[in-house]
Structure 1
Amino acid sequence: MTTTDVLTVDQVLDRMRELAATLPQGDGVEVFNGMYLTVTELVRERLAAAYFDDPAGMARLDAVFAARYLSAVDTADSGGRTDACWRPLFELRGNPGIHPIQFAVAGMNTHIEHDLPLSVLDCCLALGLEPREAEADFHRVNDLLAQVEAQVREELLPAPEALRIADPLMHVVGVWSIDRARDAAWASVLGLWELRNAPHAYEAVTAALSGSVGMVSRALLTPLSGPC
């Protein structure tokens, strides 16, 4: 991604709001988009509130990060084949046996464990930074993601009395942890940084990362018995 390709945070928000207004309710991408829109609105608020050490750098990261998701949307809309990490969400987005929280968690899994480390690397290389210089703000973004993820779980999980789907649903979404995802994402940043001057190894590792993240997302999107 070149400097001319980078959107602004406001442009990202405009695009997400456009998607929110046009995607059918209950569509898996619509569920994830709504959650991610909330995260991006929080980031924008924090950019003006001295929350980050490097607001300009974080504005860039936020836009580069979001662009990976929006690129997947554009690829799917044009009939193309998305990267392996995003493929489960787009292939299963209309499955009536998948609960909305599964779409939200699967989208977060893909975006945090795959898109976030690659976005951090893109920004570090473009801005002449080393990962350690962006680490504090990286964790601040993750704190916002965790805040919204907790809200989504509270809003979307069924009431305890809905035992028909609650038991298998809790099993499926309970295997994923945002804390472990954040740790894995930072480990990927550090590992990929060491490979930045070894393009063949870098490409092999990023391809494997996309495939493994996609495999977990597909497991998170295991359909429950009957429409949810």
Structure 2
Amino acid sequence: MFPYDSTLLKAVQLVPNSVADVLQIMQNIEATCIDGDGLKWFNWLYLQVTNAVEARIAAGGFADPSWLAELDVQFAKLYFGALASSLSGQATPDCWQALFEHRSQVQIARIQFALAGINAHINHDLPEAIVATCAVTGTVPQHGGTQYADYTGLNTSLDSLVESAKQTLHVRLLGDPLPAISHLEDTLASWSVTAARESAWNNAEILWHLRPEPGLSSAFMDSLDGLTSVASRTLLVPVPV
């Protein structure tokens, strides 16, 4: 779709082992994508979120910082993996493909691309990332635990970043202004990172208990993909001139 897609593919085929690795890959994506690529604006917001997480880990802002760092890596791997699959023509979750196939549509606002990516990443990927993190660290996803407290402790910062992005990215893909009133206002007003992350944690608890049944786990993820893709495609409805 873009002449630099092969460069993007090489970047996301690298496997991160630390938050620093994750940031480097995101920075490579940032440096590669042009402003007219919707992927750039999701990656831009995600990069800001990851920088905020890294800063808080470094400042000792969590009770279990190693768990949060592992979650950051496991989470980002799913984004990079989805992009790599799409760029190489392989099967890709539909919630992600909704974003990737619209990357060049100039009537869509930058914030729409950013939120469609956040929607796919939180509602589809995050439960899987939480389960993977717990498996690696020997913990269990449960409400009331140390990990859950650290996890929810990020909500205020993440909501603030998204609210700021709603203003910064409130232009069409190429930077031209949007109409004063459109369906986009209602769409943006209804989006809550906190609510999405709570739902993701609930789904992670379900997915954790489904681990002995791979068929049920797969069916559960397929169902999440279906529901999440509906939201992604709703978020990506072009704003009329």
TM-score (norm 2): 0.84
- Rounded to whole Å, the distance in 2 between the matches of 1:210 and 1:126 is 24
Task: Write 1 or 2 for the structure with the bigger share of helix.
Answer: 1
Contact 1:28/1:94 (CA < 8 Å) preserved in 2? yes
* 2:131 aligned partner, one-letter code: L
Instruction: Give runs of aligned pairs for residues 202-221 of structure 1, distance below 5 A.
Output: 202-221=217-236
The residue aligned with 1:138 is 151
* 1:139 aligned partner, one-letter code: T
Greater CA drift, 68-77 or 108-117 = 68-77
Matched, 1:61 2:71: yes
* 1:188 aligned partner, one-letter code: N
The residue aligned with 1:147 is 160
Greater CA drift, 95-104 or 73-82 = 73-82
In the TM superposition, residue 103 of structure 1 has moved relative to its aligned partner by: 0.7
Instruction: Give runs of aligned pairs for residues 26-175 of structure 1, distance below 5 A.
Output: 26-132=36-142, 133=145, 134-157=147-170, 164=179, 166-175=181-190
Match of 1:186 among 173, 186, 201: 201
Sequence identity, in percent?
37
The C-alpha deviation readout for 1:195-214, integer Å capped at 9, x for no partner, is 12222111111111012111
- Rounded to whole Å, the distance in 1 between the matches of 2:179 and 2:67 is 47
* 2:98 aligned partner, one-letter code: P
* 2:156 aligned partner, one-letter code: D
Contact 2:71/2:129 (CA < 8 Å) preserved in 1? yes
Contact 1:28/1:92 (CA < 8 Å) preserved in 2? yes
**Secondary structure of the corresponding residue to residue 134 of structure 2:** helix
In the TM superposition, residue 93 of structure 1 has moved relative to its aligned partner by: 1.2
* 2:128 aligned partner, one-letter code: L
**Alpha carbons of structure 1 residues 90 and 149: separation in structure 2 relative to 1, 3 Å:** same
State the superposition RMSD in angstroms.
1.8
In the TM superposition, residue 165 of structure 1 has moved relative to its aligned partner by: 5.1
In the TM superposition, residue 126 of structure 1 has moved relative to its aligned partner by: 1.8
TM-score (norm 1): 0.89
Contact 2:38/2:104 (CA < 8 Å) preserved in 1? yes
Structure 2 runs not aligned, ≥5 long: 1-14, 172-176
**Alpha carbons of structure 1 residues 165 and 88: separation in structure 2 relative to 1, 3 Å:** farther
Query: What is the total number of aligned residue pairs between the two structures?
Result: 219
Contact 1:81/1:87 (CA < 8 Å) preserved in 2? no
The C-alpha deviation readout for 1:60-93, integer Å capped at 9, x for no partner, is 1101101111112222222334212211110111
**Secondary structure of the corresponding residue to residue 166 of structure 1:** coil
- Rounded to whole Å, the distance in 2 between the matches of 1:180 and 1:44 is 22
The residue aligned with 2:8 is none
Contact 1:7/1:67 (CA < 8 Å) preserved in 2? no
